Each structure stands twice: as structure tokens, then as C-alpha cells.
Amino acid sequence: MSTAKVDLHRLSRVANWAIPGLAVASLVAGMTVSFWFHFLTVFFLLLTVMNLFYRFVQTRHTILRNFGAIGQLRYVMESLGPELRQYFFSNDTEERPFSRVERAEVYRKAKGIDAAVAFGSQLEFGPKEIKLRHSMYPTPHDELEPFRLTFGEERGIASAYTIDKPIMISAMSFGALSEPAVRSLSRGAKHAGIAMNTGEGGWPKHHLEEGADLIFQMGTAKFGVRDEGGLLDDAKLRKLAALPQMKMIEIKFSQGAKPGKGGLLPKEKITAEIAELRGVPMGEDVVSPPSHPECYDNASTLEFIQRVQEVSGLPTGIKFCVGSLDQTAEFLREMAHSKIFPDYIAIDGGEGGTGAAPKPYLDSFGMPLMPALRGVHTILTDLEIRDRTKLIAAGKLIGAAKWTMALAMGADAIYSARGFMLALGCIQALHCGDNTCPVGITSHDRTLKHGLVISDKAQRVQQYVHGSVHDFEEILCSTGVKSARELCMDNLYVPPQSILAGENRA
């Protein structure tokens, strides 16, 4: 028995004659039956012209040359593919980078909804999955020590900065993010009592106006603190560091989504204000160099870190994604030797996010967070300098369980970027780089930003932090520790096939 099958080639050949035929038929009907048929005449004439154009004029698309207007359907379906998959076909655990299950957890927290879920976990319990270990004797909540971490205490500086929650908002520049997104995050961070990293977007005007404690990020282009030649301008850094809201400085060497590449802000997203705050022209992609011109080897890099510490007077950290642990070990050895220590090291996993990056860098560069974090922690410990700096972990750490795992692997604090985007209502449309973000978080289009109401979103940020910190404390109690400082690999179940196998007792 033969089955029905759509032969697109035959269909397109029929369409080649049917479309002009229908134009002629509606023209005749318009003249003899009713004037209204002329609307159809216009429609089919336009379709005829389009079909001829696709088949005989344009040369770029083979499908359109061979199939004409029918071939266009393929492009329509392809462009609708992500939405169709997201809404109809993908199951709750298979979307990337964050599954619906993971996103829903953030949405519930941000909306202040009870996050209890019924029936059973939808996640893998496979042989590679790292899980938390509970204790037979959980810690009573009132015996749990409050979280407290002070950056800069190792150098004994007066400006040392203390946080009382393990989470901070990771670098996302104004430019990658829209103004209402930045303002919502800053206001939400202020109300939640956490710090926010400015990202490498230059003078943090909107961050400052909403009042959060800030970590100023100096990227390789040094937006906001650069001299005419693109090098660090000490006077500009001093002025910025003197602002009361400015709590720390971060020198960015690389990020997980595009290590070794530097930054990219597509020209579509450069408004007059962004150009002014960064000190760049409009109408051109803004590309940051892959490295700081001042830093060409380990010694010069450490000298530069020391210079920023001295000029700013603030705790100064560095951020990078690990490429080779051997190369990182060389750098850390030089650190031990020179006794110049950044006040923190933020490790960004290769799975980290970005506003825009070339695909090979997104997909194929950068050590994943877990082995990178564990590796750096172990090297620092072996060199007996683990107590000279702090470690911050970043890379898909969007909930308290993941925070706890990262702390157990050696981190002292957590950075999240996309967790906070989700709290703002990001629907993972994956349009961060082309100015068409449908919820206005990464778009500067007035009509798209319109949907992002700062007062409402700031509250969501606050509630996300509040709910996640609540979970974190509960989790600590269940593991049986009395403070986050006690967490170690023994608080994790690391199965034999996991990437960290052998790092703890079975």
C-alpha cells in the first residue's frame, strides 16, 4: 500500500504555473464577478514576482532558486524552529544551556513561589552525576554560623570588603544588557544586600544610580579607565575607585564563553549613550583585544595586578577561564614567588555565557568549571598559598545546590550571570547578540525594553536571592556542617565515572 508523501519538487513546479494562473483567474473574477477579487489579484501578482525573483534573479540560495516561493517555507519553518522546539517538542530536561526544569526553579524563586515540587526528580541519577551528601545528624538551623567572607583581609587593607551571602551578580556590561536590565539588577542587588559586577562596559552610570555595591570590571579594552592609547589611565581608575559604592576592582583576563578572544559588542547594539560611556565610535563593532597590552608574561601580569591594587586602594581580583592547568600552575607559582596576590581569583567555566561570541569559542574552548576550580584550588593548596587569596566560581551555578557543590570543590563565593537574567524573566530565546531579545533584557530597542518594569524586576532579583540563600542554609544544615567554610569534597558523592572521580572518599 503506498503512503501519502509531499513531493516538494513537484509542488514547486505546480506552483510556478499555479501562482500566475491564480493571478489571471482573480483578475478575470475581479472584472466579472466582484471588485473584491482584485485584492487576490494583487496578492498573486506579488507572489508571482517574488517567485520569479527567487528562481531567476537571486543567486545566493539554492533552495530558493530550485523551489521558488515554496522553498521560502523552509526558511520560515527554520526560523520558527527554536520556538517550536521550546514550546512544543523539547521535554523539560533537554533544552540547553538551561533546561525548563532549571529555569522554572529560578522563575519560582524570583516570583517568591513555594519551590516544593511533586512526585520525583526529573534529573539524571546516572553514573556521572555528582550529588550532595547528607549527614545522619543534620545541623540545627540555629547552630549554623552566618556566612561571612572578607576580600582583601589577607593584605590587611582598610577597604577590605565583606559579603554576608555567598552569591554575587557576575559581570554583564551595560551594552550586553539594556538599561532597565542593569537598573533592575542593581536595585535588586541593593535590596538583597549583594554585590554586582559592572562588566566591562565602561563608566557604570546606571549601576551607580540604582545604588548596589559594585565591583568594577576592567576588561582588556579598559572602557571607563583607558587612556588614548588604550592603556590604563591611573587617574581615571583612582577617581572611579573613590566612589563610595565601588567596593572592588576586577581585572578580566578571559571569560569562559570566549577565552583568548577578547570582547565583542555588535554595532547593532551601540547606542549614543553606550558609545559615550565606553569612549568608542558608533556604527562599528566594538572589539576588545584578547589580552591586556600591559600583561605579556607572568611577571608583568602580577606587576599590573599590584599596580591596580595600589592605585585603586581597593580589593582587586582577577577573572579568567582555565586553558591549561600547567600554564595556570606556572602563573600561581610566580605568584607565590613574587608574593603578589590578587585579592580573589574568579574562575569562569568554559560553559559560561556571553552577550555575543564566535561559535567555535562558545563550543570548543575553555575548561569546564568543575575540573578548573578543583585544579586551581589544589594547586594553591599545594603551593601553600590557598589562604592568600579567595576563589570565586562561575559557570551555570543557578541554584543553591550548585553553589554548595562549588563551595565544596574549593570556591569561597559564587558568581551568577544567567541565573540573574532568568530572574529578570529571560526566556532563553538566544537573541542576546542581535538586539532583538523579546523580553528587553539584552535589547536597546525602545519597544522591547518597554516590557521590563524596573520596580517589578528588582523585586524578582531580591526574591531570587532571598529564596536561594534560604535553600543554601537548609542545604548546609542537611550536610551536617556548621558553616560554609567547612564544606569540602567529602560533602559530595562523586561517582566513579564523574569528571572528579577519586577526589574524595567513596
Asked if residues 260 and 290 have their Cβ atoms less than 8 Å apart, the reply is yes
- Distance of alpha carbon 51 from alpha carbon 44, whole angstroms: 10
Count of residues touching ligand FMN (by CB under 6 A): 28
- Report residue 421 as a C-alpha cell: 537574567
Outline where DSSP puts E strands in 360-506.
390-394, 413-416, 492-493
DSSP letters, 249-284, are: EEEE---TTSTTT--EE-GGG--HHHHHHHT--SSS
CB of 124 to ligand FMN, least distance (A): 19
Question: Of the ranges 11-19, 230-238, 308-316, 412-420, which one interacts with ligand FMN (CB under 6 A)?
Answer: 412-420
Of 41 and 217, which has the nearer Cβ to ligand FMN? 217
CB of 91 to ligand FMN, least distance (A): 22
Question: Of the ranges 117-125, 230-238, 416-424, 449-457, which one interacts with ligand FMN (CB under 6 A)?
Answer: 416-424
CB of 172 to ligand FMN, least distance (A): 4
- Distance of alpha carbon 215 from alpha carbon 249, whole angstroms: 5
Is residue 396 a contact point for ligand FMN (CB under 6 A)?
A: yes
Of 68 and 352, which has the nearer Cβ to ligand FMN? 352
Candidate list 163, 277, 417, 487; residue touching ligand FMN; CB under 6 A: 417
Phi, psi at 152, each rounded to 5° = 95, -5
Show contacts with ligand FMN in window 322-351 (CB under 6 A).
348
CB of 204 to ligand FMN, least distance (A): 11
Is residue 357 a contact point for ligand FMN (CB under 6 A)?
A: no
Residues 6+ apart with CB under 8 A from 247: 159, 161, 195, 213, 214, 215, 314, 315
What is the four-CA torsion angle of 268, 210, 216, 227, rounded to 10 degrees?
Answer: 60
Show contacts with ligand FMN in window 251-290 (CB under 6 A).
252, 255-256
Candidate list 221, 432, 454, 458; residue touching ligand FMN; CB under 6 A: 432
**Site map 439..478 versus ligand FMN, x via CB under 6 A:** ---x------------------------------------
Of 149 and 417, which has the nearer Cβ to ligand FMN? 417
CB of 319 to ligand FMN, least distance (A): 5
User: Which residue matches cell numbers 475581479?
Assistant: 30
CB of 16 to ligand FMN, least distance (A): 46
Nearest to 196 by CA among 349, 416, 344: 416
Please state, as a whole number, how many other Cβ atoms lie within 10 Å of the Cβ of residue 469. 20
Question: Of the ranges 20-28, 167-175, 281-289, 370-378, which one interacts with ligand FMN (CB under 6 A)?
Answer: 167-175
- Report residue 97 as a C-alpha cell: 544551556
Nearest to 177 by CA among 364, 395, 353: 353
Nearest to 169 by CA among 419, 365, 447, 336: 419
Of 410 and 419, which has the nearer Cβ to ligand FMN? 419
CB of 120 to ligand FMN, least distance (A): 26
Nearest to 391 by CA among 462, 328, 339: 328
Distance of CA 189 to the CA centre of its chain: 17
**Site map 373..392 versus ligand FMN, x via CB under 6 A:** --------------------
Helix axes 325-338, 369-382, angle to 10 degrees: 30
**Site map 169..188 versus ligand FMN, x via CB under 6 A:** -xxxx--x------------
Show contacts with ligand FMN in window 293-322 (CB under 6 A).
319
Of 175 and 375, which has the nearer Cβ to ligand FMN? 175
- Report residue 138 as a C-alpha cell: 543534620
Of 247 and 418, which has the nearer Cβ to ligand FMN? 418
CB of 285 to ligand FMN, least distance (A): 15
Question: Of the ranges 107-115, 230-238, 331-339, 410-418, which one interacts with ligand FMN (CB under 6 A)?
Answer: 410-418
CB of 47 to ligand FMN, least distance (A): 40
- Give the ranges where 134-266 is alpha helix by DSSP (H): 179-192, 205-210, 234-241
CB of 487 to ligand FMN, least distance (A): 20
CB of 473 to ligand FMN, least distance (A): 21
Helices (runs of H) and strands (runs of E) counted in the chain: 16, 14
Query: With helix as H, strand as E and coil as C, how does 215-228 read?
Result: EEEECCCCCCCECC
CB of 176 to ligand FMN, least distance (A): 4
Show contacts with ligand FMN in window 199-258 (CB under 6 A).
199-200, 217, 252, 255-256
Of 287 and 501, which has the nearer Cβ to ligand FMN? 287
User: Which residue matches cell numbers 566612589?
Assistant: 243
Asked if residues 257 and 360 have their Cβ atoms less than 8 Å apart, the reply is no
**Site map 124..163 versus ligand FMN, x via CB under 6 A:** ----------------------------------------
Hey, is 394 helix, strand or coil?
Answer: strand
CB of 200 to ligand FMN, least distance (A): 4
Nearest to 433 by CA among 442, 446, 425, 422: 442
Residues in touch with ligand FMN (CB under 6 A): 170-173, 176, 199-200, 217, 252, 255-256, 319, 348, 352-355, 394-397, 415-419, 432, 442
